[in-house]
Amino acid sequence: MKVSLNWLREFIPLEKTVAEISDLLTYAGVEVEGIETTGVDINKIVVAQILASEQHPNADRLSVCRVDDGSGTPRQIVCGAKNYKVGDKVPLALPGAVLPGDFKIKVGKLRGVESEGMLCSARELAVSEESAGLFILPADSPVGAPIRELFPADTVFELEVTPNRPDLLSLRGIARELGAITGVETTPERAFETPGKSPFLIRIENPEACPWYSGRIIRGVKVGPSPEWMRKHLEASGLRPINNVVDVTNLVMLELGEPLHAFDLAQIDRGIVVRPAREGEKMKALDGRDYELTSADLLIADESKSLAIAGVMGGENSGVTEATTDILLEAALFSPRGIRRTSRRLGLSSDASYRFERGVDPAILLRASTRATALIEEIACGVAEKSIAIEGQLPLFWWEVSLRYDRCRLLMGVWISDTDIDQILTRLGLQALGNEKWSVPSSRADLTREVDLIEEVVRIYGVQNIPAKNQGFVAPVSAVDNAYDFQLRIKQRLIDAGFFESRTRSMRGEIAPVDEAFRTAGAMRVRNPLTEDQTFFRESLVPGLLEVADYNQRMGVTSIRLLETGRIFRAGQNEEKPKIALLITGDSGIADWRTPVRPVDFFDLKAAVSGILRSRTPIEFVKTQAPYLFLGAELVSDDKSLGWIGQITPDLVRRAGLKTPVFAAELDLAALQSVTDGTRRFQPLDRFPAVTRDVALIVPDALSHAVIEQTLASAKEPLLRSVHLFDVFLDPTGKKSLAYSLTYRAADRTLTQDEVNAAHQRLKTRLVENCGVSLRE
Amino acid sequence: MEETLKNLQQTALADIPDAADEAALETLRVSLVGRSGSVSLAGEQMRSVPKEQRPILGKLLNETRTLITEALAKRQAELVALKDAAAAASLDVTLPAAPQPSPGALHPITLLQDRVVQIFRRMGFALADGPDIDDEWHNFDALNTPPDHPARNDTDTYYLPDGRLLRAHTSTVQIRTMLAQLPPVQIIAPGSAYRRDEVDATHLNQFNQVEGLYVAPNVSVADLKGSVEFFLRELLGTETEVRFRPHFFPFTEPSFEVDAKLPGTNKWLELAGCGMVDPAVFEAVNARRGDNAYDPEVYTGWAFGFGLDRLTMVMTGTNDIRLLIENDIRYLAQFRQ
């Protein structure tokens, strides 16, 4: 809301600077979003009339003017502008004037000709951006008059009022608030007499949506432009002047906060009917657009047609025009919820709907109607009927709320006396009823509970005046803490191994090329997506990473290592699961002088994945299949699936736009943590030397390393301590060979050659018999 | 014979130190002490030497062999040392280090989030969380949001077909935590929140928040100020100015917005919302718990909500919020630390 300081001062005599007022409002909870100054606030600038103009003898672009500044003695001024003619009235800065930018005007010579001041452009006076030539003033401007009186300075505050404070959507309300903060008395409200009841017909079909409706008939108005002062007030508030009748309704709305509406009485058939719209009923509003209504919308109608969308906008058919002579002035109360619904559904918001949907003070309605009636009589020469037509019941103008002083002090954390609390609440317009009870005026519909009153005390006391305290106790570590630390630790390991952390979105599109393969029957969707690319919840982090990889590859990154931690979503139990995903593609790194570059492969990713595993139990890689996997393995530990690792299918990679094979893994963080966390138990250290024996095996193609490890482990050979695969090769005949070194050790003695040889022989025999391998001796 | 040996000894001891390299020394060794070298030949000639001269000549021969062998060994060591020195001298120590995997980087949001978490932990807070997909009761009703509040609209919040929603703020975790545990409560909850906004240079429809909640007997506005000021000064620098402006949120009363002025700047940054937990929130929690554990007459508390994305932009100078979701490695690499 825009508030003109000049106008505001008519409501409260505040002797404060703009900056001080801005701070007061800010600390009271009204955000000052902008401060704009208008007009001229400079001394020694007057209206001057150009009497003569001659070419400057020494400068082509300058002229020498003689001007009348109202003093009786013409002045000689050198001037560079061309846009004037003799007889024009322009602003003249006299010697001693200080223009914006600390530019002092002095008597001086310009190219040898004396100039006794300066003729000004609009921009030089900061009244507008217009800089082309002199500021030509209206012909009726009195010569010699100070410009600051013609263009009085004003400051306009742009205020952001929170939705709980509709009482601040008027000048009277802002003044009342500033009065409460500063203790300055606001100017008294005009007294008014309640008019008698008019027989004009008003019928309310829907009292819930419109509890109260009034109409005042004013006859013989002369519709025309508003007087200057009124236009200025409206313009400063950001409203466009329309005609004197409409302008009065807007002015009173700005003054008091009650939106009013004027109908052309001649267009009303018999009387006013406040009724729900019929389903599909159409209405042409004052903005010239047609609106289709539903039964949830409220109409102001007459006996034969609709006249206005209640509380939102008048109809084109019943508005005040040049031809209007008699009007019906509406002042009514509408349900905030109904107005909000209609305004939102129609996408139609007005100054009226803005106020109605936040709530209008019922105590102000008659005052607003009477004030507008008086103004219309004064400005548009109308004659109001002595009585006013009223239908419906107004809600209470006040209610009771209690406030315990001790409770207030406790919540504030500062000692404040009962008297100070009383004083604050009284200044806010509340009345003490005694016994810690207060009467709250209906302008403050937001104050219904004790805590609401305490908030008021905090606001007016000033939160800046409450000292900061440091508190005591310490919360015990939570499961979420542990999960957070675990996740960050794992991420840090991957960062050290060259991975970059991505953060992609939770929602993905229906038609994203890479998503289909990851989608399951448990896929969940958004009911009201904003954009097509965010309709489904991700079931895997990998599609997002594929997109990030593609983006980076297009940006010229050749070696891509990405990780992401985040939630995936799937219907069922544990709908949201935290995962970590890894993706690598492209080169193994940048070529350097010791290591050639090669394309990354499955084992590079396996190395990265293994690098973050610290499980208490062994992890098996079990070959697995999935629609997105070209080849892959499931990670299993302690009978738990930890996730998968693999190569993404070339088809999917192609569809993602990537040019190189992609290897990815996705692990369940909770499962990973469950096999990792926990105290490790001490194992006695071997004190006696180890003996190593190698064995080379010729193996069938399909036989995996895991089977050999498993076969050796299941032999439960007491002396065998470890198995290490040190070579994999194809011999010249094409046979696959695996070479292992086996380490033997005993806890209690040095082994003899014979013992080791016997154990080694047992294991070799077992491999031959159980796995179908032959020995390469 | 004696003459021969003496000549041999003299010549050899003169030649050996002059051997230019290991190959020359080897040739010399073979010609002197090799199988058919001069010393070996002299040994064979000993047989034809008269018996009485043998002890003297034998001693001379041994002495000659020892001296030559020692000289050879000495020269050999010298040559190796020379070669090592040459090799060391030729090493280009300015070559790049042996390649290590070049480190990646955490996302700047993660870095800021972790700083926030670490500060609150030092203040005695534990972490809490809740699901991204929540319901209207946790997101709005329990947080004292009126039934017709605009934030509930389809235009503002994402809904699922079953009527649930994507949480519009992490304040849902306040409710979930109070349902799950007894007071006192002292938690923070970092997490995603969603609003149905067009994505542009300053807006995301999915963003990152940190929620804070402190509930105990006799918590006051002074406690709120103390904690929030301490946190922001820890995060932004001890010289940071902090101010509280009264504001309105449905779930706190009184409510404030918190602005900070970073050291060396002259602009207030709007950073957080906070306030004293509204008694209606405690009552909603009690109603669902079926007890009076969070009796508003006994417990008061403060809540705090804070967005990470904008602050990441301010602190890193990132000029377009979309960089935070683009995941360009060249962007991410700037935050290695």
Q: Are A583 and A539 in contact (CB under 8 A)?
A: no
pLDDT score recorded for residue A677: 85
Which positions 164-203 of A are in contact with B (Cβ < 8 Å)?
Answer: 164-165
pLDDT score recorded for residue A121: 85
Distance (Å, whole) CA A597 – CA A599: 7
| Banded model confidence at residue A130, pLDDT cuts 50, 70, 90 | low
Query: Residue A26: its chain B contacts at CB < 8 A?
Result: 245
Question: How does the average pLDDT of chain A come out, rounded?
Answer: 90
Instruction: Choose the closest CB to A498 out of B98, B101, B194.
Output: B101
Q: What percent of chain A has pLDDT over 70?
A: 99
Query: Residue A503: its chain B contacts at CB < 8 A?
Result: 107, 109-110, 324-325, 327
DSSP 8-state symbol, A266: G
Minimal-distance CA residue of chain A relative to B192: A506
**pTM (2 d.p.):** 0.77
Which residue's structure tokens are 């102000």? A364
DSSP 8-state symbol, A362: G
A163·B248 Cβ contact <8 A: yes
Residues forming beta bridges with residue B179, ordered by sequence position? none
Distance (Å, whole) CA B11 – CA B9: 6
More confident residue, B95 or A281: A281
Per-residue b or e along B9-46, where b marks 16 or more CB atoms closer than 10 Å to that residue's CB: beebeebbeebeeeeebeebbeebbeeebbbeebeeee
Mean pLDDT of A668-686: 85
Mean pLDDT of A372-383: 93
Instruction: Choose the closest CB to A504 out of B101, B110, B327.
Output: B327
Query: Residue A491: its chain B contacts at CB < 8 A?
Result: 106, 110
Distance (Å, whole) CA A454 – CA A405: 9
More confident residue, B10 or A439: A439
How many contacts (CB atoms, under 8 Å) link A and B? 236
Other residues' Cβ atoms within 10 Å of the Cβ of residue A236: 21
Q: Which of A23-32, A190-199, A684-693, B288-297 ranks highest by mean pLDDT?
A: B288-297
A507 at the B interface (CB within 8 A)?
yes
Distance (Å, whole) CA B211 – CA B283: 20
pLDDT score recorded for residue A176: 92
| B289 pLDDT higher than 70 | yes
| Banded model confidence at residue B52, pLDDT cuts 50, 70, 90 | confident
Instruction: Choose the closest CB to B206 out of A413, A467, A506.
Output: A506
- Tell me the CA end-to-end span of chain A in Å, nearest whole number: 93
A463·B184 Cβ contact <8 A: no
Q: What residue type is assigned to position A581 of the chain?
A: A
Q: CA nearest B278: which of B139, B140, B144, B141?
A: B144
Other residues' Cβ atoms within 10 Å of the Cβ of residue A599: 12
| Banded model confidence at residue B209, pLDDT cuts 50, 70, 90 | very high
Q: What is the pLDDT of residues A501-560, one digit of tens each?
A: 999 999 998 777 788 899 999 999 999 999 988 999 999 999 999 999 999 999 999 999
| A701 pLDDT higher than 90 | no
Distance (Å, whole) CA B9 – CA B7: 5
| Banded model confidence at residue A471, pLDDT cuts 50, 70, 90 | low
Using alpha carbons only, what angle is made at residue A287 by residues A321 and A364, rounded to the nearest 5 degrees?
Answer: 75
| B2 pLDDT higher than 70 | yes
Q: What is the pLDDT of residues A588-641, one digit of tens each?
A: 887 788 888 899 999 999 989 988 888 888 888 888 999 999 999 999 998 899
- Tell me the CA end-to-end span of chain B in Å, nearest whole number: 81
Q: Are A677 and A486 in contact (CB under 8 A)?
A: yes
Closest chain B C-alpha to A287 CA, distance in angstroms: 24
Distance (Å, whole) CA B229 – CA A100: 40
Question: How does the average pLDDT of chain B come out, rounded?
Answer: 90
Mean pLDDT of A745-760: 92
Query: Residue A337: its chain B contacts at CB < 8 A?
Result: 148
Which residue's structure tokens are 């502008």? A81
| Banded model confidence at residue A433, pLDDT cuts 50, 70, 90 | very high
Closest chain A C-alpha to B85 CA, distance in angstroms: 23
Query: Residue A463: its chain B contacts at CB < 8 A?
Result: 221, 225, 244-246, 254, 256
Distance (Å, whole) CA A394 – CA A391: 9
Which residue's structure tokens are 């004003």? A154
Closest chain A C-alpha to B149 CA, distance in angstroms: 9
A501·B225 Cβ contact <8 A: no
Q: Are A593 and A548 in contact (CB under 8 A)?
A: no
Q: What is the pLDDT of residues A568-584, one digit of tens each?
A: 999 998 899 999 999 99
Q: What is the pLDDT of residues A150-167, one digit of tens each?
A: 877 888 999 999 888 999
A455·B255 Cβ contact <8 A: yes
Helices (H), chain B: 2-15, 22-33, 38-45, 54-90, 108-122, 136-139, 172-180, 221-236, 279-289, 308-316, 323-326, 329-332
Distance (Å, whole) CA B265 – CA A563: 36
Distance (Å, whole) CA A475 – CA A32: 39
Minimal-distance CA residue of chain A relative to B331: A500
Q: Concatenated DSSP letters for A612-648?
A: H---SS-EEEEEE--TTEEEEEEEEETTEEEEEEEEE
Mean pLDDT of A684-704: 88
| Banded model confidence at residue B331, pLDDT cuts 50, 70, 90 | very high
